[in-house]
Amino acid sequence: MMVGRDMDEMFQREDVNIGETLLEVRNLSLPGKFHDINFSVRKGEIFGIAGLVGAGRSEVVEALFGYKPAETGEIHLHGEKIDIHKPCDAIKHRIGFVTEDRKLTGLMLNMSVTDNMIMPELLPYEKHHLISEELARDVANSMKDQLRIKTPTVETIIGNLSGGNQQKVLIARWLLLEPEILILDEPTKGIDIGAKAEIYKLIVELARLGKAIIIVSSEMLELLSLSDRIMVMAEGREVGIVDRENATQEVILEMAAGGDVPSQEEQELESEYQTQGVA
């Protein structure tokens, strides 16, 4: 894990304008995985989800995307209830999902960059016939330049690329679908520090453009640096939500271990101590 100074030198997030509520989750539950999860995400917001291994973080976002749908609870988009039972339902509602394990469930490692980026089956049916090989290459080259994907050509087998560039291809796939909500599960897992910095900048830029971003991460400093708010989970339950100004590593770890949410007064006092350099 990077130390705080390295993170500060590599990445500085500017304040962004956060808009209206886009997604709202109410009492979402999947027996044995998570229970009574409630949160909302607004346009332009980066919403982090923290917790120890086994806390249910990935399971919650997988339910939002329809991989393993919740059994009870509601999901609202633009104030209207929607049903998500499988990934195609989420895609229809312009929700994208960058999976935690890109090699196992995200990419087809024996296929080209283009084939991994341009997947007609993810497009609305009426657009399938519009994707020619030439157009696919042109689009892939455009995304390659935009995301600074390092590859000899877009016809290179993706398994030959570095982890960071593979991750950029996976992100590019979803950006081509113009999602309103982008979920990223461990977005910088297994990639080098330079690629991390580029992905952080991309995430912040997407938020600036009004996308709602949900990030699950085991990297505490990553969550603290990127997130406007952080929901902490423990043993499949939501412990609480902490805003950016009051989120510290100590607060998050205590909550993740099953501790109570600090009161507003305690959070403000902790923030004041941090500002004054009081340990």
Evaluate if residue 131 carries a pLDDT over 80: no
Is 206:178 a contact under the CB 8 Å cutoff? no
The pLDDT score that the predictor gives to residue 126 is 46
Domain locations in the chain? 4-94+179-276, 113-177
Give the lowest-confidence range in 1-15, 147-161, 179-193: 1-15
Residues whose CB is less than 8 angstroms from the CB of residue 189 and which lie 6 or more positions away in sequence, other chains included: 100, 218
Average pLDDT, integer, range 18-28: 97
Of 168, 213, 177, 195, residue with least CA distance to 16: 213
| Predicted pLDDT of residue 118 | 84
Instruction: Give the orientation angle of helix 163-175 with respect to helix 133-146, to 10 degrees.
Output: 120
Q: 4-94+179-276 — its CATH code?
A: 3.40.50.300
CA distance 36 to 231: 13
pTM of the predicted model as reported, rounded to 2 decimal places: 0.86
pLDDT computed for residue 12 by the predictor: 59
Residue pLDDT, tens place only, 70-83: 999 999 999 999 99
Sheet holding 34-42, edge to edge: 80-82, 72-77, 21-30, 34-42, 237-243, 229-234, 46-51, 212-216, 181-185, 95-98
Is the predicted pLDDT of residue 47 greater than 70, yes or no? yes
Rg (CA), the chain: 19
Kindly report, residue by residue over 200-239, the tens digit of the pLDDT.
Answer: 999 999 999 999 999 999 999 999 999 999 999 999 999 9
